[in-house]
Amino acid sequence: MPDNSTRPDAGYIQERRTHLENLWGDTHAVWRDTDLFYQRQYSIWAGANSANYARTRGQYRPSTSTNIIDHASDQFMGFIPTLRREPVNPQIQAHKDAADAVEIAVKSLMMDAAMKAMFNPWKQLSKHLNAYGYGIIEFGLDFTDMTEGRRHPAYWNPVRIDATHPARVLMEPHEKVPSAALKLLNMRAGELAALLSKKKNRRDFNAGGAEEIADMSPWEYVELEEEWTPDWHTLKRKSGDILYQERNAWKFVPFAQTFAGFGMEPTDMAQSDPQHMAQGILQPVKESIRLEAQNATAKHTMVIDQAYAPFGSRFPDILQQALETGAIAPGEQGDYWKMQLQDVPRWVFESGREIQDDIRRGTYNPGISGFREPGVTTVGQQAILDSAGRRKFSGPSMQEEHIASLVAGWILRIVDNLSQLKTGIGSHGRHLKRSDIYGVYDMIVTFEVLDPVIQMQRRELGLREYEIGLKSDEDYWEEDARAENVALRRQRLRQQRIRQHPAIDSRLIAAEAAAMDEVDAEDVEALRAAAQEGQLPLTQPPMGAQEVARPLREPLSENVARPARIDNVGALLGE
Q: What is the pLDDT of residues 454-467, one digit of tens each?
A: 677 778 888 888 88
The most distant pair of C-alpha atoms in the chain lies apart, rounded to whole Å, by 113
pLDDT at 561: 56
Q: Which of 84-93, 142-151, 197-206 has the highest mean pLDDT?
A: 84-93
74 φ, ψ (degrees, to nearest 5): -70, -35
Q: What angle do CA 93, 96, 99 make, to 5 degrees?
A: 150
Q: Name the more confident of 472 and 166.
A: 166
pLDDT(195) > 50? yes
Digit-coded pLDDT (tens) for 257-280: 999 989 888 888 676 789 999 999
Q: Which of 124-128, 322-326, 534-538, 540-544 has the highest mean pLDDT?
A: 124-128
Strands 181-188 and 425-427: unpaired
Whether residue 525 contacts residue 139, with contact meaning beta carbons closer than 8 Å, is answered with no
Q: Show Cβ contacts of residue 61 under 8 Å, excluding neighbours closer than 6 positions.
A: 40, 42, 44, 293
Cα gap 142→250, rounded to integer Å: 13
The C-alpha atoms of residue 48 and residue 133 are separated, in whole angstroms, by: 31
**Could you read off the pLDDT of 324-356 as tens digits, one per residue?**
887 888 877 777 777 777 777 777 777 788 888
Above 90 in pLDDT, residue 35?
Answer: yes
pTM above 0.85, yes or no: no
Alpha-carbon span 124 to 162, nearest angstrom? 9
Number of H helices, E strands in the chain: 21, 15
pLDDT of residue 538: 47
Query: Is-contact 258 403, C-beta < 8 A?
Result: yes
% of the chain beyond a pLDDT of 90? 42
Using CA atoms of 526, 529, 530, 531 in order, give the dihedral in degrees to the nearest 10.
120
Poorest-pLDDT segment among 1-5, 124-128, 500-504: 1-5
Residues 437 and 30: their CA atoms lie apart, in Å, by: 44
Confidence band for 473, pLDDT divided at 50, 70 and 90: confident
In degrees rounded to 5, what are phi and psi of residue 427?
-150, 130
Q: What is the pLDDT of residue 271?
A: 63
